[in-house]
């Protein structure tokens, strides 16, 4: 299988649990941008078994602590792209934990709503 998440080097793994592992993103949008990845090759988050979903969320909490200790940050965006139209480019379930830094954008209001720019700025309407 030619999946970059199924063929990962052990030295890239930050933390792991029974059903998932974490690594820093290869194309980070911020320092400390991490991915929590299902060990089982599944494309869509909603196709995971409940115990796999719970495991990923628990691991994300542990990764958050690691990122906070390494980068001194405590504010984040969390995201999962499910499907091509939602921006998924690697067809293997993974969650993004993206640290946010003061001043990294001019106006952070709207957060994840900016995936559809015309819908993001709702507060001026």
Average pLDDT, the chain: 93
91: Cβ–Cβ under 8 A, 6 or more apart, which residues?
Answer: 3, 43
What number is the average pLDDT over the span 22-37?
97
pLDDT at 48: 98
36: Cβ–Cβ under 8 A, 6 or more apart, which residues?
Answer: 20, 21, 22, 56, 59, 60, 63, 94, 95, 97
Catalytic site residue 92?
no
21: Cβ–Cβ under 8 A, 6 or more apart, which residues?
Answer: 8, 13, 14, 15, 36, 37, 39, 59
Query: What is the tens place of the pLDDT at every residue in 1-26?
Result: 789 999 999 999 999 999 999 999 99
Query: What is the tens place of the pLDDT at every residue in 56-81?
Result: 999 999 999 999 999 998 899 999 99
Question: Residues 33, 41, 92, 94: which is the catalytic one?
Answer: 94
Is the whole model's pTM more than 0.95, yes or no?
A: no
Q: Write the DSSP assignment of 38-64 as a string of letters.
A: ESS--S-GGGS-HHHHHHHHHHHHHHH
Q: What pLDDT band is residue 115 in, cutting at 50, 70 and 90?
A: confident
Q: Which domains does the chain have, with CATH numbers?
A: 12-103 (3.30.428.10)
Check: CB of residue 44 under 8 Å from CB of residue 38. no
Q: What pLDDT band is residue 119 in, cutting at 50, 70 and 90?
A: confident
Query: Strand 13-16 relative to strand 20-24: parallel, antiparallel, unpaired?
Result: antiparallel
Distance (Å) of CA 40 to CA 43, 59, 67: 9, 15, 24
* Total Cβ atoms within 10 A of residue 49: 12
């Amino acid at each position: 299988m030619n999946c970059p998440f199924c063929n990962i080097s052990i030295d890239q793994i930050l933390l792991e649990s029974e059903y998932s592992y974490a690594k820093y993103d290869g194309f980070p949008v911020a320092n400390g941008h991490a991915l929590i990845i299902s060990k089982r090759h599944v494309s869509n988050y909603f196709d995971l078994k409940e115990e796999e979903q719970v495991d990923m969320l628990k691991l994300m909490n542990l990764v958050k602590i690691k990122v906070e200790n390494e980068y001194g940050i405590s504010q984040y965006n969390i995201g999962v792209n499910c499907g091509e139209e939602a921006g998924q480019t690697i067809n293997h379930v993974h969650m993004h934990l993206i640290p946010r830094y003061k001043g990294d954008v001019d106006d952070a209001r709207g957060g994840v709503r900016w995936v559809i720019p015309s819908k993001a700025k709702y507060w001026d309407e």
